[in-house]
A = this chain, B = another copy of it.
């Protein structure tokens, strides 16, 4: 699942604002915004810190078949 969607989804499910999530993860509010805005150049460790709040982490997965 796409990262930005996943974060936004989880955040909504837990009824958190972007600020809530930023505070809990110990990252900047701007980072959360860029994360949900599909910025691709984010640092992996920061992304993982946020994902871990939702019991997840980044892993290599096979690409969907594109023919």
**Chain A residues close to B by CB (< 8 Å):** 1, 3, 6, 40-45, 47-48, 51-52, 54-63
Contact = CB atoms under 8 A, between A and B. Distances in A.
A48 B40 contact: yes
Given A43-B43, A58-B58, 15 more contacts: A1-B59, A3-B58, A40-B45, A42-B43, A44-B44, A44-B47, A51-B60, A54-B60, A55-B62, A56-B61, A56-B62, A57-B60, A57-B61, A58-B59, A59-B60
A41 B43 CA distance: 6
A39 to B, nearest CB: 9
Instruction: Report copies per complex.
Output: 2
Nearest to A48: B40
